[in-house]
A and B are shown apart, each in its own frame.
Chain A
């Protein structure tokens, strides 16, 4: 019994030390729902909402070069979706295809592959996952990932004047759709 008490005390101590030593834990144990988005100057350069998006140049999985300026010249907006070919990404991309692409024909949808590292592997993943019809930008140098603070499921909407209108996780797509409907 004395052994048991010692083990229990040790487990409790480890728990307390572990919790108190990790600041990040409090984010989940007691979530803060306050709006902590940093204030940014509208029209300044950056990837946050209201900022002027970085004018990127990227190559897709077929070797075709795309520029943001070139894309925006002919459409109402550009959507970037960051994928790592995972189940969540697949679910989002499937939703983009069925719910957004058909309803917003004057918007360009670009998938950003930031994990495969080569055109050949990216193209193979694109085909294997059933997205042959998508344009997949191969972010070999992670430049798009850095410029737009990208990550799995991150979706960026840029309007025709180059202003970022949305930069968050895709989630259920409702806010992305609302953003596209409100494009100038």
Chain B
């Protein structure tokens, strides 16, 4: 079952939180990176994707995988609208806004549906290179230099969280916390192969809480634990006769969130871990102006592949349009 927190998406979003992203291009355009990245020398990019997330049990706090009760059917759908804009030759900014639908049937007893804006992400990227780093052949050591991006992301809690006026935990569309992530993204393409590495560290901002699920409580301060994400990927590009391309990518992610605090005390019942794998197919037009993507993000429902978190599978369909 879903932990709202987490979607987080908990719950959420977790929201919201941990879905695959089909919003990417790459340094060269047409690639399959896991972040909303504007290709070099492009002015802007519009990206729209749709996530279908299906819950498949959860890992408990010892890493043991438990199934959902029979008859449970828990799903979340997200429409993600993204826009990236070049603000200088080495700088780009982007914003991603999701709209979330929750559709949950709990065994035979309870059915809940809700929808609303999810948490908004605002990104700023610095590109530590001036030219396109994709090469066809390595002729000199410099050809091995990857495209390096250094970014920061502010997650703004525009969704409806546990601390809003919600009737059920499964109605939430956001986490309720601001978070600031620092990210390093390295990408290298030596056609037809490509590889990438994404390292991200996030810190939530502590907030006051005086309400839980629409029920006012004695006020307290809460903060979620620091968040660490590592994603590695490898891909292969097939050039079609039309010179359009199809890129197939396999990505592996390891996500960890430390324990939360309540009034400064560590909450031993919190924190999470999740490992997942994603298969991505991206079709790009010859000029790399249009990219159509399908992503299947799968979490293994086995012991030891996560802790204290829902196990989910996410299908993402998306399209990106680059404005030169």
Interface residues of A (CB under 8 A from B): 1, 3-4, 7-8, 11, 14-15, 18-19, 22, 24-25, 27-29, 31-38, 84-88, 90-92, 94-95, 114-118, 121-122, 124-125, 128-130, 139-140, 142, 149, 151-154, 167-174
Contact with A along B173-217 (1 / 0, CB 8 A): 010110000000000000000000000000000011111110111
Q: Which 4 A-B residue pairings sit nearest by Cβ, starting from the closest? A: A117-B109, A33-B208, A4-B44, A115-B106
User: Within 8 Å CB of B221, what residues of A?
Assistant: 33
User: Within 8 Å CB of B156, what residues of A?
Assistant: 29
Interface residues of B (CB under 8 A from A): 1-6, 43-44, 46, 58-61, 64, 66-72, 81, 83, 85, 95, 97, 106-110, 116-117, 120, 156-161, 163-165, 168-169, 174, 176-177, 207-213, 215-219, 221, 262, 265-270, 272, 308-310, 323
Least CB separation from A33: chain B residue: B208
Other 5 A-B pairs with CB < 8 A, given A87-B58, A169-B212 = A4-B85, A19-B158, A25-B158, A35-B218, A85-B69
Which among A37, A87, A118, A129 is the interface contact of B308 at CB below 8 angstroms? A87
Would you call B69 and A35 a contact (CB within 8 A)?
A: no
Would you call B310 and A86 a contact (CB within 8 A)?
A: yes
User: Within 8 Å CB of A115, what residues of B?
Assistant: 1, 69, 72, 106-107, 109-110
Looking at the assembled complex, report how far the CB atom of A79 sits from the nearest CB atom of chain B, in whole angstroms: 16
Would you call B109 and A7 a contact (CB within 8 A)?
A: no
User: Within 8 Å CB of B120, what residues of A?
Assistant: 15
Would you call B110 and A142 a contact (CB within 8 A)?
A: yes
Would you call B43 and A151 a contact (CB within 8 A)?
A: no
Would you call B157 and A29 a contact (CB within 8 A)?
A: yes
Would you call A27 and B44 a contact (CB within 8 A)?
A: no
**9 A-B pairs (CB sep. < 8 Å):** A22-B160, A27-B176, A87-B60, A87-B272, A88-B308, A121-B107, A154-B213, A171-B262, A174-B262
Which among B5, B60, B95, B163 is the interface contact of A11 at CB below 8 angstroms? B95
User: Within 8 Å CB of A140, what residues of B?
Assistant: 109
User: Within 8 Å CB of A15, what residues of B?
Assistant: 95, 97, 120
Would you call A28 and B164 a contact (CB within 8 A)?
A: yes
Chain B CB count within 10 A is highest, among A115, A139, A142, A172, for A115
Which among A114, A129, A170 is the interface contact of B66 at CB below 8 angstroms? A129
User: Within 8 Å CB of A36, what residues of B?
Assistant: 210-211, 216
Which among A14, A28, A37, A90 is the interface contact of B174 at CB below 8 angstroms? A28
User: Within 8 Å CB of B269, what residues of A?
Assistant: 88, 91-92, 94-95, 170-173
User: Within 8 Å CB of B83, what residues of A?
Assistant: 7-8, 11
Looking at the assembled complex, report how far the CB atom of A130 sits from the nearest CB atom of chain B, in whole angstroms: 8
User: Within 8 Å CB of A168, what residues of B?
Assistant: 212, 215, 217-218
Q: How far is the CA of A95 from the CA of B46 in the complex (A)?
A: 47
User: Within 8 Å CB of A117, what residues of B?
Assistant: 106-110
Q: How far is the CA of A12 from the CA of B162 in the complex (A)?
A: 26
Q: How far is the CA of A140 from the CA of B107 in the complex (A)?
A: 11
Chain A CB count within 10 A is highest, among B2, B64, B210, for B210
Chain B CB count within 10 A is highest, among A8, A84, A154, for A84
Looking at the assembled complex, report how far the CB atom of B318 sits from the nearest CB atom of chain A, in whole angstroms: 16
Would you call B160 and A24 a contact (CB within 8 A)?
A: yes
Would you call A27 and B69 a contact (CB within 8 A)?
A: no
Whether A37 touches B59, Cβ cut-off 8 Å, given contacts A84-B1, A169-B212, is no
Would you call B169 and A33 a contact (CB within 8 A)?
A: no
User: Within 8 Å CB of A139, what residues of B?
Assistant: 109
Which among A18, A38, A85, A149 is the interface contact of B158 at CB below 8 angstroms? A18
User: Within 8 Å CB of A151, what residues of B?
Assistant: 168-169, 212-213, 215
Whether A28 touches B212, Cβ cut-off 8 Å, given contacts A35-B219, A87-B60, A124-B69, is no
User: Within 8 Å CB of B211, what residues of A?
Assistant: 27, 36
Looking at the assembled complex, report how far the CB atom of B105 sits from the nearest CB atom of chain A, in whole angstroms: 10
User: Within 8 Å CB of B116, what residues of A?
Assistant: 22
Least CB separation from B96: chain A residue: A11
User: Within 8 Å CB of A118, what residues of B?
Assistant: 107-109
